Amino acid sequence: MIYERKVNYYETDAMKIVHHSNYIRFLEEARLFFMDKMGLPYYKMEEAGIMIPVLGVNCTYKNPARFNDILEICVKIKEYTGVKLIIEYEVINKTTSQISLVGETKHCFTDNNLKPISLKKINIEMHKIFEKNK
């Protein structure tokens, strides 16, 4: 799945490149877009009492992006077990045709009290959507 966005001026730093912390926001935008497109908007999971906290983020910055560049963020499920979810990302700067970042986010599924759950046991319909999209 591909999510596209333009770099805003306020997302850049004194070196006139995207500040490294903003890429984490871009990955979250792309992940939520991905979930919407696979038919499982995050708000529906929250309504069902299911959370997907971020356990870790791993990023390798390759080439800088600048104000007004168009970024294409490729998102895919790297691993899904029903308890654990790893999402993989590749951020391509369409303006320069260079890879800006590669990375992944690690997640687990929890209830509203942040107690770990198995999505397969708690909500089989949502589990099937993740299985279908991995």
Only one residue has tokens 């009290």, namely 113
Separation in Å, CA 31 to CA 13, 36, 90, 96, 121 = 24, 9, 12, 23, 23
Q: pTM for the complete prediction? A: 0.93
CA distance 25 to 29: 6
Active-site choice (13, 36, 69, 111):
13
pLDDT band at 134 (very low <50, low <70, confident <90, very high): confident
Let me know if 111 is a catalytic residue: no
- CATH class of the region 2-132: alpha beta
Contacts of 69 (CB under 8 A, 6+ apart): 6, 7, 93, 94, 95, 96
b/e map 100-129, b = 16+ CB within 10 Å: bbbbbbbbbbbeeeeeebebbeebeebbee
List, for residues 21-65, the tens digit of each pLDDT value.
999 999 999 999 999 999 999 999 999 999 999 999 999 999 999
Q: What is the CA radius of gyration of the chain?
A: 16
